[in-house]
Amino acid sequence: MTDDHGRTTYRHGDLRGALIAAGIEMAREGGPDAVVLREATRRAGVSPNAAYRHFDDRDALLREVSDACLGLAADRIERSFDEHPPTGDPQADARQLLRSVGLGYLGFAREEPGLFRTAFSVPDNLNRAAESAKAGRRGRTPFQLVGVALDALLEAGLLPPERRPNAEFLAWATVHGLGMLVIDGPLRGLDDRMIDFATERLLDMVDRGL
Amino acid sequence: MTDDHGRTTYRHGDLRGALIAAGIEMAREGGPDAVVLREATRRAGVSPNAAYRHFDDRDALLREVSDACLGLAADRIERSFDEHPPTGDPQADARQLLRSVGLGYLGFAREEPGLFRTAFSVPDNLNRAAESAKAGRRGRTPFQLVGVALDALLEAGLLPPERRPNAEFLAWATVHGLGMLVIDGPLRGLDDRMIDFATERLLDMVDRGL
DNA sequence: GTAGGGTTGTGGACAGTGTACACATCGCGT
DNA sequence: ACGCGATGTGTACACTGTCCACAACCCTAC
């Protein structure tokens, strides 16, 4: 436990970090709506208004929590990379790389639906998609990871150069959509085998159609 | 105006409908979080608690608003059908049918982002995806419309029978994902031309990869 | 080392929300 | 005509985000 809830000093030490951590925990259980400012301060053992020394308002806190969630998604994708190490065949490896992005992304959505929803609950845009706040431990954001995989496909000659620009949008949209439908869309409640199967087919489609 | 705000009778007449209508209007402007029960009753010219005669709680109201939004999405897709009438070539027509679903769906997301987000803000599952409450004026839900298009592809011989089962998931996930990314994901703020282009490419991908 | 001064946390207050409970008013079927 | 179930009202409470004035602290300049 890193929280000095029962602190003795007047200053907290790292209230900002504690509030974000509390926010992530709440987001994990209940999604973006569950990250409530007062509760975060309560968990940090501090009065409600203390939060305003570190965040303009609740939205600012949520934004930071959301960025952190994107970082966790990046971590999950990197883990998926590690689980499918390159074999030496450049073409097969490139395809597996993109597949791994999809698998990691969807794994994150299924394992941490609250964090997943929180990650995308805050309006964003392309300019900010590569901000370091959204990066995982290895310093890359999910958006960048998709790009890496696509670059590999390009280099392996599996993606015609004229199709490379903005291909991120297509790949990302596809897995993102499945993620959303699975966690609280109509595909919710499907058994795991079914979802695995849909995932494989979806990735096949991307592989074939990109 | 159908709202009898300045009513003279004790009974409202159609409070239930008025609350849903007010909810839709609020959702249009601010998405699911903006549909607030008290404000709905205010707009209906009624005391806050009157709502509880028609809905268990705020969530129940939101659910109904959400269903209505899905119906509006269905209407938008049907409009897209009308804009791309069949030409007589069964294969081309079938492909255009699926394309029209995608275009209508994404058109709805872009034209009515608040309603779009509201439509998918409520946990759902497959069993309920065909409920008549979610249907448009012509009685079909968005999920059913995707199915119709896929059936046409099957019949035209463009979709191998073994790939027909659950193909809804793939097609839907793809356009849904693009919709989400465009309205408040990283693709937000892209100019229309760019989005049109991405839409076309996405639909090409589905066409090729399904 | 001591007097400020900026930073961080506190306390009290207010509007707005969802919702429970008791009460009022009405329309309809007997 | 009456009474009962359905619909709308009033009051109240806990909870939220946020504003303002105040308190406690740490750091820096003399």
Report the residue from B186, B194, B207 with minimal CB separation from A124: B186
Higher-pLDDT residue of B11, A195: A195
| Helical ranges in chain A per DSSP H | 15-30, 37-43, 58-83, 90-111, 113-119, 142-155, 167-184, 192-209
What token pair was written down for A72? 């966790």
* pLDDT at B7 (0 to 100): 73
For residue B183, give the chain A residue with the closest CA: A123
**What confidence score (pLDDT) does residue A7 get?**
74
What percent of chain B is predicted at pLDDT more than 90?
Answer: 91
Task: With cut-offs at 50, 70 and 90, classify the pLDDT of residue A6.
Answer: low
- Mean pLDDT of the residues in chain B: 94
Given a contact cutoff of 8 angstroms between Cβ atoms, the answer to whether B104 and B146 are in contact is no
Average pLDDT, chain A: 94
Whether A4 has a pLDDT exceeding 60, the answer reads no
Q: Which residues contact A11 (CB under 8 A, 6 or more apart)?
A: none
Residue A148 CA to residue B180 CA, distance in Å, equals: 22
pLDDT over 50 at B203, yes or no: yes
CB contact under 8 A, A198 and B128: no
Q: Where residue B148 falls among pLDDT bands split at 50, 70, 90?
A: very high
Q: What is the pLDDT of residues A101-120, one digit of tens each?
A: 999 999 999 999 999 999 99
Nearest to B125 among A33, A180, A189 (CB): A189
Please say if the pLDDT value at position B116 is more than 70.
yes
Q: Which residues of A touch B187 (CB under 8 A)?
A: 125-126, 169, 173
Mean pLDDT of all residues in B33-57: 98
Distance CA A71, CA A143 (A): 11
> Distance (Å, rounded) from C-alpha B94 to C-alpha B156?
7
pLDDT of residue B6: 58
Average pLDDT over residues B78-102: 97
* The token pair that represents B62 in the structure block: 């939101």
CB A194 within 8 A of CB A181: no
Q: Which residues of B touch A (CB under 8 A)?
A: 33, 120, 122-126, 128-129, 143, 166, 169-170, 172-181, 184-190, 194, 197-198, 201-202, 204-210
> CA triplet A27, A28, A30: central angle to 5 degrees?
60
Instruction: Work out the average pLDDT over B39-57.
Output: 97
In angstroms, rounded to a whole number, what is the distance separating the alpha carbons of residues B19 and B52?
11
Q: Tell if B11 CB is < 7 Å from nucleic strand C.
A: yes
> For the segment A41-94, what is each residue's pLDDT rounded down to a tens digit?
999 999 999 999 999 999 999 999 999 999 999 999 999 999 999 999 999 999
- Tell me the backbone φ, ψ of residue B42, rounded to 5 degrees: -60, -45
Q: Is the pLDDT of residue A159 over 90?
A: yes
Instruction: Name the token pair of B176.
Output: 């849904």
Residues 6+ apart with CB under 8 A from B210: A205, A209, B153, B159, B163, B167, B170, B171
pLDDT value, residue A19 = 98
Give dist(CA B35, CA B128) in Å, integer.
22
Residue of A2 and B89 predicted with greater confidence: B89
Mean pLDDT of B76-97: 98
pLDDT at B11 over 90: no
pLDDT of residue A2: 36
Residue B1, pLDDT above cutoff 70: no
Q: How confident is the model at residue A153 (pLDDT cuts 50, 70, 90)?
A: very high
pLDDT surpasses 70 at B197: yes
Instruction: Give the model's confidence band at A10: pLDDT under 50 very low, under 70 low, under 90 confident, else very high.
Output: confident
What are the tokens at B178?
């693009």
Neighboring chain A residues of B124 at a CB cutoff of 8 Å: 184-186, 188
Query: Which residues lie below 8 Å from residue A85, measured CB to CB, with a gap of 6+?
Result: none
Residue A9, phi-psi category: left (phi > 0), alpha (psi -120 to 50), beta (remainder): beta
